[in-house]
Chains A and B, each alone.
Chain A
Amino acid sequence: MSSVPERPRIARRGRLRYDAARETHVLLLPERVVMLSDSAAEVLGLCDGERTEADLVQELQTRYPDADLADDVHELLKEALERQWLEPPPKT
């Protein structure tokens, strides 16, 4: 299993949006709907292919100064990669 890319990015095919009918964030992919928790949506919303994982954590840390976020963010990114919510790292 490959590791989390240096600059994680939402799958090219994916569209992140808020679903007003279900009052939840969703990630839409071909033939797939992923319902996201608010925190997962917040992390994935920062996965723009520009920010590094450290940037993500730092940015979230300014929003939630009292929480220790690094491990949770890493776990979420790992899961997101495995479930193909993120672009896979380029093949070497």
Chain B
Amino acid sequence: MAGTPAQDVNGRPEVAPPFSLMVELTHRCPLHCLYCSNPLEMDRVEDELSTEDWLRVIDQAADMGVLQFHFSGGEPLLRRDFLTLLERAHERDLFTNLITSGIGLTDAVLDRLVELDLGSFQLSFQGSDEAMVEQVAGGPFWKKKMEIGRKVRDLDLSLSINTVLHRQNLHQVGDLIDLAVSLGAERLELANTQYAGWALLNRDHLLPTRAQLEEASAVVAAKRAEHGDRMEIIWVVPDYFDDFPTPCMGGWGDSLFSISPDGTIMPCLSARILPDLDLPNVRRHDLSWAWYESPAFHAFRGFDWMQEPCSSCPMRFQDHGGCRCQAMLIAGDPKATDPSCIYSPHRPEIDAAIARAEARDAPEGEAEYRVLEGPTRG
């Protein structure tokens, strides 16, 4: 597949319109998960975009060819204007996806989701039983989630269940699959934790052992054979336990992008940790300019930015060098090869983290549950 990529007049890779936009409406959330994908320094409520700003975002996204529009957070339902935004997305013919904890969802809102032709309802479960959900999410959320799951099924909305997997709940994959089947889910996303932000902070509490992972993998394979024709089960071996990195976001600025509560337009949800990016913002920039023209979206697009060993590696066309944020967090250089790659000189640091996970039953120190104020650190 490796040909010379098409280039624009400036010699940059030619850019196709994005398929998908993920908006984090707010970082406020009733849950406190230790691996939250929100940044350590979250956007405060007073920094959140206005309704007008978000409506403009939806219009610009539809105009530039976005087809899939994901409402996420934090908990997107905490925005009082959520239904107004969903209504606009529906008017603009976008395929909408709501990614929610289910907490705070009322019957009236559920009915509106149906009327507004919500494409996909994605409900999070932090474990397959009450105790695990409370342990991971930091509160008594199980009963409400089950209630919402059943209602969504009864309303015949398309239900996806997503669970972030780690050391504490990985043994529950079989039960999670059964739970998703019993709720009539069409998709189950079994997402192994990605170690950036909160998850990196809490890595010793989250990283499983190789044996745990292999056992879970076997369970998934068996359950897939049983339920695969009714429910799509997404399971990807996490990069820490693989030889090569995952193609983060399918490539930087390739087909997806996201916007944070304060309007920052980003090629990936954690891009703000990367130095000197000068990310565009919807308060000042047009989405189309951000995607096609902004220096930030060109920073790691294509292959020319790469260093060795990536720049001559045939795998670069598949994995795009992996995750820029992981390169920054572990190798200290956003252009470095993703340290989960066996050709990265920093791979031993990943292996050392796995060795620590293998060596002991319980991690030292307290886990840091996410709170809007950010972690307490010196």
Question: Interface residues, chain A, CB within 8 Å of chain B?
Answer: 12-13, 15, 17, 19-22, 26, 28-31, 33, 88
Contacts and interface: CB of A to CB of B under 8 A. Distances in A.
A68 to B, nearest CB: 33
B208 to A, nearest CB: 25
B172 interface: no
Interface stretch (B62-70, B297-305, B318-326, B359-367): B62-70
Given A15-B95, A17-B93, A21-B17, A30 B120 contact: yes
B74 interface: no
B119 interface: yes
A88 B186 CA distance: 13
A29 B20 CA distance: 12
Contacts of A15: 95, 119
Interface of B: 17, 19-20, 63-65, 67-68, 93, 95, 97, 119-120, 156, 158, 160, 186-187, 229
Nearest to B160: A30
Contacts of B160: 30-31
Given A15-B119, A31-B187, 8 more contacts: A12-B158, A13-B120, A13-B186, A17-B93, A21-B17, A22-B17, A28-B95, A31-B120
Contacts of B63: 21
B93 A30 contact: no
Nearest to A28: B95
Contacts of B187: 30-31
Contact of A22 (B65, B93, B156): B65
Contacts of B120: 13, 30-31
A20 B94 CA distance: 12
Contacts of B65: 19-22
A79 to B, nearest CB: 17
Contacts of B17: 21-22
A6 to B, nearest CB: 19
A22 B63 CA distance: 11
Contacts of A26: 67
A21 B292 CA distance: 14
A29 B65 CA distance: 16
B234 to A, nearest CB: 8
A31 B68 contact: yes
Of listed A22, A29, A31, residue having the most chain B CB within 10 A:
A31
A38 B19 CA distance: 19
Contact of A33 (B68, B97, B186): B68
A13 B187 CA distance: 12
Contacts of B93: 17
10 contacts: A12-B156, A13-B158, A13-B186, A15-B119, A19-B67, A20-B65, A21-B65, A30-B95, A31-B68, A31-B187
B158 A28 contact: no
A33 B158 contact: no
- A12, A15, A30, A88 — which one has the most chain B CB atoms within 10 A of its CB? A30
